Amino acid sequence: MSDWKAELNDCITDVSELFRLLEMEPEVLPRCPSGSSGYPLLIPRSLLDRIEKGNPNDPVLRQFLPQEAETLSVQGFTDDPVGEAGKEQRVNQLPVLNKYTGRSLLLTTNSCAVNCRFCFRRHSRKKQLSVIHYPLSITVPLHCSEVILSGGDPLILEDTEVQTLVNYIRKFPNVKRLRIHTRLPVILPKRMTEKLVGVLDTRRQAAGLNAVYLVFHINHPNELTGEFFERIQTLQNTVLMSQTVLLKGVNDDADVLVQLFETLANHRIIPYYLHQLDKVAGAAHFEVPISRGRELLAEIAGRLPGYAVPKYVQEVAGEKSKIVL
């Protein structure tokens, strides 16, 4: 079993164990028992090294710790905030979404290495890993020049499965770009295996894809490790980008965001999107007012070069693209 798989199989799923390992008393933070909100705790043990022990307000911990606020019903927050329900086409039991012109989004799995409490698909995900059935028979519309792998997290699949998906997508002559949205290499840097790096290297592709984009989900500079940067440096022929969700109590601070985006730019990861929180039920306590988000972006733009400043966007159900705020 690979190192990253071993870590994945030994995740913390019990809040009491998490508090014990972080040297915190259960009373220090209002919380709901793991799973009582319908969305269980899931956090790899290696991530604990990036959390300050004894600090219930640690910005990394806050993203993954179940809280009582998740059980509250808040107007405007729903189970399907971006209007995906019923819109997908199922091929080999893999949902395919054609939300935007020119792009097809493939939900490769409903599992992740960690359960973010603000996940906009938290109500549609399951604990079990989706099964990819072979041979594949996914259809990509002729107008699509890009395929996006999402989930869950597509890199929770085995290297051979990722290779099979990439090889299959390469068969469509109209598809020139592959984009993969992932949190896994940040949470578990060992996921960037030598084989996976080879799969993502367009220079090694005999035909088909012109470019592979790898978009990392990163919300706070404390999530970043030397091992992560060391492993991604081997991705010489992959375009590296990042996306960040604006979260109250995590990164709603200009200094934090400047540190994050500048650090990423220093390691050739271009900040792509700063997302306004999707209004998913159970995550209202993370919401930052749009007015505050605009203030933060203005300050960031005054302190960083343009290529290190992401677009501040919001996804609105039914719109033809994300809305730039």
Average pLDDT over residues 225-245: 94
Cα–Cα distance between 57 and 301 in angstroms, integer?
27
Q: 212 near 180, Cβ under 8 Å?
A: yes
Q: What domains lie within the chain, and their CATH numbers?
A: 3-71 (no CATH), 89-324 (3.20.20.70)
**pLDDT of 68:** 84
pLDDT beyond 90 at 82: no
| pLDDT band, residue 308 (cuts 50/70/90) | very high
Would you say residue 208 has pLDDT above 80? no
> Phi, psi at residue 15, to the nearest 5°?
-60, -40
pLDDT at 70: 84
Pick from 74-83, 166-175, 187-196 the range whose average pLDDT is largest.
187-196
Instruction: Give the orientation angle of helix 290-301 with respect to helix 254-266, to 10 degrees.
Output: 50
Query: Which range has the worst mean pLDDT, 118-132, 178-192, 271-285, 294-308?
Result: 118-132
- pLDDT of 132 over the 70 cut: no
223, 50 contact by CB (below 8 A)? yes
Work out the pLDDT band at 45, boundaries 50, 70, 90: very high
Sheet-wide strand order for 89-91: 89-91, 94-97, 103-107, 146-150, 177-182, 211-217, 239-245, 270-275, 311-314, 323-324
What pLDDT is recorded for position 323?
81
CA dist 262 and 214 (Å) reads: 18
Mean pLDDT of 150-154: 87
In this prediction the pTM is 0.90
Q: How confident is the model at residue 128 (pLDDT cuts 50, 70, 90)?
A: very low
Asked if the model's pLDDT at residue 37 lies above 70, the reply is no
| pLDDT over 90, % of the chain | 50
Q: Is the pLDDT of residue 223 over 70?
A: yes
At 127 the pLDDT is 41
Asked whether 253 and 259 are in contact (CB, 8 A), the reply is no
Residue range 162-190: mean pLDDT, rounded? 91
83-110: b (≥16 Cβ within 10 Å) or e: ebeeebeeeeebbbbbbeeebbbbbbbb
- Which candidate, 111, 161, 110, places its Cα nearest to that of 8? 111
pLDDT at 129: 44
| pLDDT tens, position by position, 249-290 | 999 999 999 999 999 999 999 999 999 998 888 789 999 999
Distance from chain centroid for Cα 30: 26
Q: What average pLDDT does range 63-86 have in this prediction?
A: 76
On the question of pLDDT at 228 being above 90, the answer is yes
pLDDT above 70 covers a percentage of the chain that reads 80
What's the whole-number mean pLDDT along residues 84-109?
A: 67
User: What mean pLDDT is predicted for residues 64-81?
Assistant: 82
Which is more confidently placed, 61 or 142? 61
